[in-house]
Amino acid sequence: PAGRDGDGRRRPRNKARPMNPLAVREGMLPAKALPDLFRLTREAGFDGLELSGSRLIEHGDELKRLRAEHGVRVTSAGAGQGGNGVLLSPDPEERARAAAFLIRALEAAADQQAFGILFVPIFGAAKLTAVPGQDLRARELDLLVEGIAKPSERARAKTWVRVWAML
């Protein structure tokens, strides 16, 4: 991608790999099977496909074949909870399961040359309880940073965190 290298010189954009391909999320297409998803993505004019983190992990070789066959890239993966643990759970084992899944998803995304994953650490209301003297949101943020630091380091991934708060 375009930008600046380590000594400040301008780096040219790689035209073979669009910086912002137009992608569609797998759940928005009327298909479940991977070959059909890739075919429909291309027919609809999209450059890329966002898959679930589980599919990304479980179907690596098939995804590489389909990417080459259809000229569609895997742009990202949605790695929400779905039985893979909750990063902001009060249960340390559940947090560890979520962190392990995050590592596998990051590694699979790198293997597919995806831009990254979208990881929602918790859906709905907080599962943690307030600790005297500590704000619940601060505690959640501490656990979030702790929960993504090790997976990001292990997968050698750059991590961006955007916190949305529903007021």
φ/ψ of 118, rounded to 5, equals -110, 115
Segment 21-76, tens digit of pLDDT = 789 999 999 999 999 999 999 999 999 999 988 899 999 999 999 999 999 999 98
Q: What is the pLDDT of residue 10?
A: 52
Burial class (CB in 10 A: 0-12, 13-18, 19+), 59: middle
What are 10's two structure tokens?
């301008």
Of 63, 152, 161, 163, the closest CA to residue 113 belongs to 63
φ/ψ of 153, rounded to 5, equals -65, -45
pTM over 0.85: no
